[in-house]
C-alpha cells in the first residue's frame, strides 16, 4: 500500500512518474529565475511576449507536467486499475516536452509563424494521447468515486483548452477568428485553469488530504455540489463569451456572464467548505510543512475568486495601469498562489512515498530503511515555505502598485525558495 486506500500493485513504472516530476521542478526553478528578468514587464497589459512565454512555462512546463505525472500514478491506484499503456505515456512525454518548449520560446520571442503553431500542434497531440490513455484506463474502472468523475471532466476540458490554444497560435500567424483575439485568450486561460487545474486539484484533494490527515466519517455533499456548480458555471461562462464574440459584442461583461461567475464563486466556496469539513474530522492533528503550503493555497484560491468577481465592479474611471495591475494580480493568485503552493506542498507528500516504495518496500524487515520523514530535510522545507510566502506576497503587493523594484525583490526571494525546494527534491531522489 502507498497509503491508506492506495493500492500500489496498480502503479505504473516509477521512471515514468519520475521524469515528469524532474522536468516540472526544473521548469518551476527556471520560472522563478525568469521572473527576476521580466520584472519590468510585470505591468501594463498582460498581452506581452515575455509574459505569454512565462505563463506557458508555468502552465505547461511546471503545472501540467507534474499533474500529468501525478495522474499517471494516482488514477490507477485510486481507481484500482492498470494504466492502459505505459509505452504510450512515455511517447506522450517525449512529444509534449519539445512541443511545450517550442510554444514557450516562440511566445517569448513573439515569433508567430509556423514554429509557434507547429509547436502548439505537437503539444495538442501530446495532450490528446494523454487523454486517450487515461480515458482507456478509466474505461476499465469498476468502482467509480468523486475523484474519478473530476478527473474525467478535467480530461475533456484540457483537450478543449489545448485545441483552443492551437487555434489561437495559428490565428496570431494568419488571423481568421471573428471578434477580439484577447477574448478568445481569456476563454483559453479560464478553460485551462477551471477545467484542468481546478477540477484535478479538487478531485485529487478529496482523496489525498483525508489520506494524509487520517480523516474519515464526514459527508461529501458539499464536494458534489462543488463539482456541479463549477462545471455548470464553466460551461456557462464559455457559452456566454462565445455568444458575445460571434455576435460581435464588445465590452467587459454582461448580466449572464456575471450570473455564471457568481455560480462559479459558489462552487469554489462549496469546495472550500468540503475541505474544511475534512480538516475538522482529521485524526492527525499535528501540522507539517505540506499542510502549511496546502492551507495557504486554499486561502489564495479564495482571494483569487474574490478578485475575479471584483473585476466586474471595478470603477470605470480607474487608471488603466491600476486595472491591469489587478488583472495580473488575479492571475498571480490563481496560478502561483493556489496552484503553486498546493503543488509544492503535495510534492512533499507524494514524492517521498513514491521513492520510498520504489526503493525500500522490498527491504522492510530485511535491512534498515529510512523513515518517510527522513526522505528530505524538513527544516529546509520550512525555510523554503517562509521564503516562498514572503516572495509571493512581496510580488503580489508590487503588481497593483506597478513597482518594478519591489516585484524583482519578491521574485528573487521566490527563486531562493524554489532553489531549496529543488534541492529537497534532489535529496528525495538520491535516497
Chain centroid to Cα 356, Å, comes to 25
The full set of domain ranges for the chain reads: 1-143, 311-431
Looking at the chain, the whole-number percentage of residues with pLDDT higher than 70 is: 91
Least confident range from 53-62, 63-72, 226-235, 303-312: namely 303-312
- Please compute the mean of the pLDDT values over residues 335-347 and round it to a whole number: 96
How many Å apart are CA 268 and CA 199, to the nearest integer?
Answer: 10
d(CA 309, CA 262): 8
pLDDT tens string 12-51: 888 999 999 999 999 999 999 999 999 888 887 788 899 9
Per-residue pLDDT, 9: 65
Helix axes 341-360, 14-37, angle to 10 degrees: 150
What are the grid coordinates assigned to 422, written together? 529543488
Contacts of 98 (CB under 8 A, 6+ apart): 119, 122
pLDDT surpasses 50 at 5: no
Cell 488571423: give the residue: 175
Q: What percent of the chain has pLDDT over 90?
A: 67
CA distances to 37, 271, 321, 400, 404 from 40, in Å: 8, 36, 13, 13, 5
Whether residue 183 contacts residue 245, with contact meaning beta carbons closer than 8 Å, is answered with yes
Contact assessment for residue 103 and residue 120, using Cβ atoms and an 8 Å cutoff:
yes
The three three-digit cell numbers of residue 227, written as one number: 463539482
Report yes or no: 23 and 94 within 8 Å, Cβ to Cβ. Answer: no
Q: Residue 149 has which C-alpha cell?
A: 468523475
Confidence band, pLDDT 50/70/90 cuts, at residue 360: confident
Measured CA to CA, the distance from residue 288 to residue 375 in angstroms comes to 14
Interhelix angle 199-213/221-246, nearest 10 degrees: 160
Residue 300 has pLDDT above 70, yes or no: yes
* Whole-number Å distance between alpha carbons of 414 and 36: 9
C-alpha span between 75 and 281 (Å, rounded): 25
Confidence of residue 262 (pLDDT cuts 50, 70, 90): very high
Rounded CA-CA distance 89/15 in Å is 11
What is the helix (H) or strand (E) element at residue 9, kind and residue range? none
Q: Residue 248's pLDDT band (boundaries 50, 70, 90)?
A: low
pLDDT tens per residue, range 361-393: 666 667 677 777 778 889 999 999 999 999 999
Give 356-369 as a DSSP string: HHHHHGGGTTTS--
Average pLDDT of the residues of the chain: 90
Q: Which residues pair with 3 in a beta bridge?
A: 6
Read off the pLDDT of residues 138-192 as tens digits, 9 standing for 90 and up. 999 888 899 999 999 999 999 999 999 999 999 999 999 887 888 889 899 999 9
330-350 residues labelled b (16+ CB within 10 A) or e (exposed): bbbbbbbbbbbbbbbbbbbbb
The string of DSSP codes covering 144-170 is --HHHHHHHHHHHHHHHHHHHHHHHHH
CB neighbours of residue 245 within 10 Å: 17
Q: Does pLDDT of 3 surpass 60? A: no
Three-class SS state of 3: strand
DSSP structure class, residue 282: B
Amino acid at each position: 500500500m502507498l497509503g491508506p486506500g492506495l493500492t500500489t500493485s496498480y502503479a505504473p513504472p516509477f521512471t515514468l512518474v519520475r521524469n515528469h516530476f524532474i522536468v516540472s521542478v526544473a521548469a518551476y526553478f527556471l520560472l522563478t529565475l525568469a521572473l527576476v528578468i521580466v520584472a519590468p514587464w510585470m505591468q501594463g497589459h498582460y498581452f506581452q511576449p515575455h509574459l505569454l512565454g512565462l505563463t506557458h512555462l508555468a502552465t505547461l512546463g511546471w503545472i501540467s507536467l507534474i499533474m500529468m505525472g501525478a495522474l499517471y500514478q494516482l488514477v490507477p491506484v485510486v481507481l484500482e486499475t492498470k494504466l492502459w499503456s505505459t509505452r504510450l505515456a512515455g511517447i506522450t512525454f517525449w512529444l509534449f516536452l519539445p512541443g511545450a518548449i517550442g510554444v514557450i520560446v516562440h511566445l517569448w520571442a513573439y515569433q508567430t509563424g509556423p514554429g509557434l503553431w507547429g509547436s502548439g500542434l505537437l503539444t495538442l497531440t501530446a495532450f490528446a494521447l494523454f487523454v486517450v490513455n487515461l480515458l482507456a484506463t478509466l474505461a476499465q474502472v469498476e468502482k467509480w468515486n468523486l475523484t474519478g468523475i473530476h478527473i474525467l471532466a478535467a480530461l475533456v476540458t484540457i483537450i478543449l483548452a489545448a485545441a483552443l490554444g492551437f487555434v489561437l497560435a495559428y490565428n496570431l500567424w494568419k488571423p481568421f477568428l471573428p471578434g477580439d483575439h484577447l477574448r478568445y485568450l481569456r476563454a483559453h486561460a479560464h478553460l485551462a485553469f477551471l477545467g484542468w487545474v481546478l477540477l484535478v486539484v479538487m478531485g485529487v484533494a478529496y482523496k489525498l488530504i483525508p489520506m494524509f490527515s487520517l480523516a474519515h466519517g464526514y459527508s461529501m455533499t458539499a464536494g458534489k455540489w462543488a463539482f456541479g456548480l463549477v462545471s455548470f458555471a464553466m460551461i456557462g461562462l464559455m457559452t456566454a463569451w462565445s455568444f458575445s464574440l460571434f455576435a460581435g459584442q464588445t465590452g467587459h461583461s454582461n448580466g449572464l456572464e456575471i450570473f455564471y461567475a457568481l455560480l462559479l464563486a459558489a462552487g469554489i466556496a462549496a469546495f472550500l467548505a468540503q475541505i474544511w469539513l475534512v480538516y475538522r474530522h482529521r485524526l492527525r492533528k499535528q501540522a507539517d510543512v505540506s499542510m502549511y503550503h496546502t492551507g495557504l493555497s486554499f486561502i489564495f484560491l479564495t482571494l483569487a475568486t474574490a478578485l475575479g468577481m471584483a473585476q466586474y465592479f471595478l470603477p470605470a474611471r480607474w487608471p488603466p495601469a491600476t486595472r491591469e495591475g489587478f488583472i495580473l494580480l488575479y492571475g498571480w493568485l490563481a496560478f502561483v498562489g493556489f496552484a503553486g503552493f498546493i503543488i509544492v506542498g503535495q510534492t512533499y507528500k507524494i514524492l517521498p512515498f513514491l521513492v520510498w516504495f520504489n526503493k525500500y518496500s522490498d527491504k522492510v524487515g530485511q535491512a534498515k530503511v529510512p523513515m518517510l520523514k527522513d526522505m528530505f530535510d524538513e527544516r529546509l522545507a520550512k525555510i523554503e515555505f517562509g521564503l516562498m510566502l514572503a516572495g509571493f506576497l512581496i510580488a503580489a503587493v508590487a503588481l497593483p502598485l506597478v513597482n518594478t523594484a519591489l516585484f524583482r525583490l519578491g521574485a528573487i526571494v521566490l527563486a531562493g525558495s524554489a532553489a531549496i525546494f529543488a534541492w529537497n527534491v534532489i535529496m528525495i531522489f538520491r535516497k
